[in-house]
Chain A
Amino acid sequence: MEIDLAQLREMHTRLPTDLALAMVGRAALALERNHHAPGVRVSLDLERVMSSGLLSWPGADLGEIEQHDHNRITEDGAEAVALALAHRYRAWRVIRRMQREEHADWLLEDAREGGRQVVALEVSGVNRGPLVARLWEKLAQVAKSIDVDQRWAGVVGFEEPAAALHSTKRKKREN
Chain B
Amino acid sequence: MKTDALNSLVSGAIWRAEQLEAHGIRSATQAWAEVSSLEEELAKALPVSESEGRIARRGAVRAALKAGDYARANVLTEGYIAEEAVPRSLKATLRKILDEDAQATETRFRYAAKHHSLREARDLARRFREAGAFGLAA
Q: List residues of chain A with CB under 8 Å of any chain B CB.
A: 13-16, 18-19, 69, 72, 94-102, 107, 118, 146-149
User: CB-CB < 8 A to A102: which residues of B?
Assistant: 55, 58-59
A14 touches B55 (CB 8 A): no
Which 5 A-B pairs have CB atoms at the shortest separation, nearest pair first? A97-B11, A147-B51, A96-B7, A16-B12, A147-B54
Q: How far is the CA of A85 from the CA of B124 in the complex (A)?
A: 53
User: CB-CB < 8 A to A15: which residues of B?
Assistant: 8, 11
Q: Output the residue of B10, B11, B51, B89 with the most chain A CB within 10 A.
A: B11
B22 touches A72 (CB 8 A): yes
Given A107-B52, A147-B55, are A100 and B18 also a contact pair (CB < 8 Å)? yes
Q: How far is the CA of A101 from the CA of B9 in the complex (A)?
A: 19
Binary A-proximity of B44-59 (CB < 8 A = 1, otherwise 0): 0000000110110011
Measured between C-beta atoms, what is the minimum distance from A159 to chain B in Å?
Answer: 23
Measured between C-beta atoms, what is the minimum distance from A79 to chain B in Å?
Answer: 9
A98 touches B14 (CB 8 A): yes
A18 touches B12 (CB 8 A): yes
Q: A107-B55, A149-B51 are in contact. List 18 more A-B contacts (CB 8 A).
A: A14-B4, A16-B12, A18-B12, A19-B15, A72-B22, A97-B11, A98-B14, A98-B59, A99-B58, A100-B18, A101-B58, A102-B59, A118-B52, A146-B54, A146-B89, A147-B51, A147-B52, A147-B54
User: CB-CB < 8 A to A101: which residues of B?
Assistant: 58, 62, 97
User: CB-CB < 8 A to A147: which residues of B?
Assistant: 51-52, 54-55
Q: How large is the interface on B (under 10, 10 to 19, 20 to 34, 35 or more residues)?
A: 20 to 34
B12 touches A19 (CB 8 A): yes
Give the residue of B11, B14, B97 whose beta carbon is less than 8 angstroms from that of A14: B11
Q: How far is the CA of A16 from the CA of B12 in the complex (A)?
A: 6
Given A14-B4, A19-B15, A72-B22, are A98 and B55 also a contact pair (CB < 8 Å)? yes
Measured between C-beta atoms, what is the minimum distance from B37 to chain A in Å?
Answer: 14
Give the residue of A18, A96, A148, A149 whose beta carbon is less than 8 angstroms from that of B10: A96
B59 touches A99 (CB 8 A): yes
Given A147-B54, A147-B55, A148-B51, are A99 and B14 also a contact pair (CB < 8 Å)? yes
Q: How far is the CA of A97 from the CA of B39 in the complex (A)?
A: 11
